[in-house]
């Protein structure tokens, strides 16, 4: 598996397998393109793109993530991955940790600590010490309260760095009320594929998180892992706007769904995303994942961490 991402957003396009381990992209009124499967890490499909079960099977067996996103509207995204490649013992430890309140709390604290540290590292302003609040959180609900307070302060700093005409006041998801929130949501969605790949390669269950509750409609551990990437992606969005790469003219409003990038905006955004955005997210996610795996291998250390914090 390689490092390239293939993006297809032309209505009526079709993917099929080609000779010599290639993926062939057929676009309306354009020559077909061939991409070597070994070069790919991810395939992103926007809107109505056709493919058959052989393509799905081949991508899954090669460990290539397939992310299907709506071109417009609120249909939601779909993420398809292959089966975990590591030993089941890692997933067994994950399930044990989830069912052990102290062990799970230690892993959730680790997640929030990494996220807050990432946000603070990007700020030139001195801030209060959030570490004490994280350490004293007696349960997941209290920990989420600390994380929420830190996030609100983080987005206040983000707002101060953005031009007023972009209309950003606070983080809101559905529907995003302004172009900044639309870009943030897009980045958070796009990073889920690479995050899920890291987890699957490590042998973990993407549905069972430590900070986020398990839910049938969301990959809770993926959401946990991208928490540490969010501050870096927020800074990425600020840089796109302040660097005049994207303007308000690159968005169109959809009734009931908020602003979205138009075709010209997507042509500007995605090259920058694949060149810089995903790299900004990947390294902190790898660091958090390594810390999780270490704690999953040593439940005694997790118990000791929780006991010391509560003392």
pLDDT tens for each residue of 104-113: 999 999 999 9
Q: Which residues, 6+ apart, have CB-to-CB distance to 298 below 8 Å? A: none
Q: Are strands 13-18 and 251-254 parallel, antiparallel or unpaired?
A: unpaired
Under DSSP, is residue 32 helix (H, G, I), strand (E, B) or coil? coil
**Euclidean distance between CA atoms 49 and 74, whole angstroms:** 17
User: Using 50, 70 and 90 to split pLDDT, how confident is the model at 184?
Assistant: very high
**Euclidean distance between CA atoms 95 and 54, whole angstroms:** 32
Under DSSP, is residue 279 helix (H, G, I), strand (E, B) or coil? helix
Q: Are strands 40-46 and 65-69 parallel, antiparallel or unpaired?
A: parallel
User: Using 50, 70 and 90 to split pLDDT, how confident is the model at 244?
Assistant: confident
Q: What is the pLDDT of residue 255?
A: 75
CB 184 within 8 A of CB 171: yes
Residue 306 predicted with pLDDT over 80: no
**Euclidean distance between CA atoms 195 and 83, whole angstroms:** 15
pLDDT (average), residues 20-35: 88
- In the chain, the percentage of residues whose pLDDT exceeds 90 is 55
Choose between 254 and 187: higher pLDDT: 187
Q: Indicate the helix (H) or strand (E) that contains 133.
A: helix 130-136
Measured between alpha carbons, how far is residue 73 from residues 20, 76, 247, 267 in Å?
37, 8, 21, 19
User: Using 50, 70 and 90 to split pLDDT, how confident is the model at 234?
Assistant: very high
**Euclidean distance between CA atoms 34 and 28, whole angstroms:** 15
User: Using 50, 70 and 90 to split pLDDT, how confident is the model at 61?
Assistant: confident
Tell me whether domains 4-80 and 88-310 share a fold: no
Q: What is the pLDDT of residue 4?
A: 83
Choose between 11 and 135: higher pLDDT: 135
**Euclidean distance between CA atoms 134 and 122, whole angstroms:** 19
Choose between 309 and 20: higher pLDDT: 20
User: Using 50, 70 and 90 to split pLDDT, how confident is the model at 270?
Assistant: very high
pLDDT tens-place string over residues 131-155: 889 999 999 999 999 999 999 999 9
Choose between 6 and 305: higher pLDDT: 6
Under DSSP, is residue 46 helix (H, G, I), strand (E, B) or coil? strand
Residue 179 predicted with pLDDT over 80: yes
Under DSSP, is residue 211 helix (H, G, I), strand (E, B) or coil? coil
pLDDT (average), residues 179-201: 92
Residue 310 predicted with pLDDT over 60: no
Residue 72 predicted with pLDDT over 70: no
pLDDT (average), residues 249-261: 86
Structure tokens at 87: 């030993």
Q: Which residues, 6+ apart, have CB-to-CB distance to 46 below 8 Å? A: 7, 8, 9, 69, 70, 71
What is the chain's length? Answer: 311
Predicted TM-score of the model (pTM): 0.84
Domain boundaries, the chain: 4-80, 88-310
Choose between 226 and 31: higher pLDDT: 226
Tell me which of 6-20, 222-236, 295-309 is least confident. 295-309
User: Using 50, 70 and 90 to split pLDDT, how confident is the model at 190?
Assistant: very high
What is the topology classification, in CATH, of domain 4-80? Ribosomal Protein L15; Chain: K; domain 2 (3.100.10)
How many H helices and E strands in the chain? 12, 10
Under DSSP, is residue 116 helix (H, G, I), strand (E, B) or coil? helix
- pLDDT averaged over the chain? 87
Q: What is the pLDDT of residue 308?
A: 46
Half-sphere exposure of 223 toward its Cβ, with a 13 Å CA cutoff? 14
Q: What is the pLDDT of residue 5?
A: 84
Highest mean pLDDT among 66-70, 192-196, 282-286: 282-286
- In the chain, the percentage of residues whose pLDDT exceeds 70 is 90
CATH homologous superfamily of domain 88-310?
A: CRISPR-associated endonuclease Cas1, C-terminal domain (1.20.120.920)
């Amino acid at each position: 598996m390689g490092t390239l991402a293939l993006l297809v957003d032309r209505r009526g396009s079709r993917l099929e397998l080609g000779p010599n381990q290639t993926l062939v992209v057929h676009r309306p009124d354009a020559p077909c393109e061939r991409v070597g499967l070994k070069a790919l890490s991810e395939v992103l499909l926007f809107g109505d793109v056709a493919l058959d079960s052989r393509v799905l099977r081949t991508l899954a067996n090669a460990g290539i993530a397939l992310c299907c996103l709506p071109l417009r509207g609120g249909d939601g995204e779909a993420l398809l991955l292959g089966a975990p490649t590591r030993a089941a013992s890692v997933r067994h430890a994950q399930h044990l940790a989830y069912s052990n309140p102290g062990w799970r709390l230690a892993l959730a604290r680790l997640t929030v600590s990494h996220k807050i540290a990432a946000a603070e590292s990007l700020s030139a302003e001195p801030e209060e010490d959030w570490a004490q609040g994280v350490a004293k959180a007696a349960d997941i609900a209290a920990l989420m309260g600390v994380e929420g307070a830190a996030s609100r302060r983080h987005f206040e700093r983000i707002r101060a760095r953005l031009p007023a005409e972009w209309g950003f006041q606070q983080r809101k998801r559905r529907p995003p009320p302004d172009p900044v929130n639309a870009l943030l949501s897009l980045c958070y969605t796009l990073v889920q594929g690479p995050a899920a790949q890291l987890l699957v390669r490590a042998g973990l269950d993407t549905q069972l998180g430590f900070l986020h509750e398990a839910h049938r409609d969301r990959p809770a551990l993926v959401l946990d892992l991208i928490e540490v990437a969010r501050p870096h992606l927020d800074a990425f969005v600020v840089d796109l706007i302040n660097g005049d790469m994207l303007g308000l003219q690159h968005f169109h409003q959809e009734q009931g769904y908020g602003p979205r990038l138009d075709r010209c905006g997507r042509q500007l955004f995605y090259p920058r995303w694949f060149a810089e955005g995903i790299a900004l997210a990947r390294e902190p996610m790898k660091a958090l994942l390594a810390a999780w795996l270490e704690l999953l291998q040593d439940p005694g250390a997790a118990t000791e961490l929780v006991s010391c914090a509560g003392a």
